[in-house]
Amino acid sequence: MRIGHGFDVHRFDDSNEAFNGLSEKARITLGGVLIPSSRPLLAHSDGDVLIHAVCDALLGAAAMGDIGHHFPDTDSRYKGIDSRKLLRHVVLLLMDRGFSVINVDSTIVAQAPKMAPYIEAMCQNLANDLTIARDAVNIKATTTEKLGYAGRKEGIAVHAVTLLDNG
């Protein structure tokens, strides 16, 4: 078995454009779920910081580098991309090398918005993309008691760990 760890942070977009009231922008994507938010997250992709951390954990467990190596943010093909496509691609890369995913656990670190109503849908999306059972996926959310960059609502961080079986 192989263990992997992933960590990612995205900052909230504080530009005037982010505040211009476009409902399209007033949401973020986490685990493939759209969540109302006062500001979007800055990103080259859709900014799905949860999926990015999970991809890094999977690639880490397989000793295959990181998400930036496989999907560089200088590549226009990945501009605004649905991060679930990246996750499904990572799963294919792992399968090619004989790995299967045993489980994934993760923690979203955010002072806002509230995550609880969306956790189950995120878990379902991850289980589908990882082609594993729903009960092999766990997503937790915590604030930092208003401490640090997450506590000041400057951004959202995610930690993820995974276990792979390499037969």
> Least separation, in Å, of the C-beta of 49 and Zn ion?
5
Give the binding range for Zn ion (CB under 5 A) out of 15-23, 27-35, 46-54, 92-100: 46-54
With CB under 5 A as the contact rule, the residue among 4, 6, 8, 28 that binds Zn ion is: 8
Distance, CA of 49 to CA of 159 (rounded, Å) = 9
Interface positions, 93-132, toward Zn ion (CB under 5 A): none
> Least separation, in Å, of the C-beta of 8 and Zn ion?
4
- Name the residue among 74, 67, 120, 64 with its Cα closest to residue 94: 64
Distance, CA of 86 to CA of 103 (rounded, Å) = 18
Copy the structure tokens of residue 87: 């996750």
Distance, CA of 147 to CA of 161 (rounded, Å) = 23
Q: Closest CB to Zn ion among 7 and 124? A: 7
Interface positions, 9-38, toward Zn ion (CB under 5 A): none
56 binds Zn ion (CB under 5 A): no
